[in-house]
Amino acid sequence: MPRSTQRQAKLLELAGFQPCGSFEDTLYRLAGLTGEMLAARRVSLMLLDSGEGKSARLRLAALYGELPEAAWQQEQAPGEGIAGRVLASGASVRVGRIDRSVWKATARRPADAGAFMACPLVLGGKPVGVLNISNPVERATFSAADLATAQLAAQLIARSVQVARLESLLNSRFAQLALARSGQSDALAVTELSAHEPERVAKLLAKGFYREMRQCGFTPNQIIHAAGEIISELTGSLNRHSKRLERKR
């Protein structure tokens, strides 16, 4: 099959992408589909992550191809590194060889001399992550047409990430109740929160959990005990999640 025909087929598949399974699996499928579409050996998806008292930073969320193990632990602030600069500027970049470009000093792995592209993932006019594509197959560099396709793919991926998050929220009756009681029941408010303030959604769910238990007659000590059980379950789930990531890598 000619490369142009294969690319068109993959682009249509990406446009009609339906999230299913876990959020993590959805991201891996999107990265793999993009790699196949653009005939690239490596595609990575980086999403903004934040926490209490911590500014938003980019973290690796899904990978097609290979990267050093340390890449999963690294974080980039907006304006820091290549991905951070792309996020802060909102502009995509295309480079023939990183070791011969102005990006060499900024790159986390300057010895990786292959061609690359980076496109911001944007929702509601705000950046939520970065799509990185590198090491083209059977050609030395990415073309201008490749960059145009990557930019379109970034838009479609951003929408798929949004849909996956929203579906998870809407499938949870507890989440619906917690959001409704906080005054965030309309679709637009939930969309904005899930895309740009996921930590706020987490706080709303935590408050909703407390209110529901109090209304059911549980005492503060009983709620604290239940919270401890939840933390224990979360720890176990995160450990299992880490083991699944190691197997996939």
Q: For the chain, what are the domain ranges?
A: 3-161, 168-245
Q: Which among 86, 82, 83, 114 has a CA at the least distance from the CA of 100?
A: 114
Decide: pTM greater than 0.85: no
In this prediction, the residues of the chain whose per-residue pLDDT falls under 70 are 1, 50-54, 99, 103-113, 166-202, 204-205, 212-219, 233-234, 237-249
pLDDT at 31: 95
pLDDT at 145: 93
pLDDT at 149: 95
| Per-residue pLDDT reduced to its tens digit, 24-43 | 888 999 999 999 999 999 99
Q: DSSP assignment, residue 107? A: -
| Per-residue pLDDT reduced to its tens digit, 45-81 | 999 886 555 577 898 999 999 888 888 888 888 888 8
CATH code for the part of the protein at 3-161: 3.30.450.40
Query: Phi/psi class of residue 104: alpha, beta or left (left: φ > 0; alpha: ψ in -120 to 50)?
Result: alpha
pLDDT at 3: 75
Neighbours of 150 (CB within 10 A): 24
Q: State whether residue 194 is helix, strand or coil.
A: helix
pLDDT at 191: 55
pLDDT at 80: 85
End-to-end CA distance of the chain: 30
The mean of the pLDDT values for the chain is 78
pLDDT at 131: 97
